[in-house]
Amino acid sequence: MPDTMLDRARGFLLSKRVALVGLERSERGFSRAVFKELLKRGYDVVPVNPALAEAEGRRCHARVQDIQPPVQAALLMTPSAQTAGVVRDCLAAGVRSIWLHRGAGPGSASAEALALCREAGVRPVSDLCPFMALPDAGWLHGVHGFFRGGDRHPAP
């Protein structure tokens, strides 16, 4: 059975309790749009940002290990320089479903973060934005995902 990034993303989206790590302070930020869309679709999204007390009426946590009850998955929308530390936090919390976000920019993945996942036996989603994998997210997101190759190339 093929293992593409889109396959991994769809598997990740089966988790209904998800931490969104790196939620922006700005209510107009892209991570806020992802957060709101996941909430709208029925996900129990837990915001993680040590600089925020709450977002969209939900308590923010400083790190994934602080979340109770624990989450099933973590979507990392952090700068790549911070991602390895967040992956360590996720692994310490027992989270084995990890998505390293990438939209139009360089994304969250770093060589160190990917190596940490590999060493732990975690096969993360990387190089995709959730809007590329969510059903009915709009044609533009689907085109972006197509050109990124998430559904055509085997995942590393």
pLDDT at residue 99, rounded to an integer: 98
pLDDT at residue 149, rounded to an integer: 47
Amino acid residing at 33: A
Mean pLDDT rounded to a whole number for the chain: 88
Rounded Cα distance, 54 and 46, in Å: 10
Contacts of 71 (CB under 8 A, 6+ apart): 15, 17, 18, 19, 46, 64, 93, 95
Superfamily (CATH H level) for 5-147: NAD(P)-binding Rossmann-like Domain (3.40.50.720)
User: Measured between alpha carbons, how far is residue 123 from residues 95, 126, 133, 137 in Å?
Assistant: 12, 9, 17, 24
Query: What is the pTM (predicted TM-score) of this model?
Result: 0.87
Write down the domain spans for the chain: 5-147
Segment among 60-64, 96-100, 149-153 with least mean pLDDT? 149-153
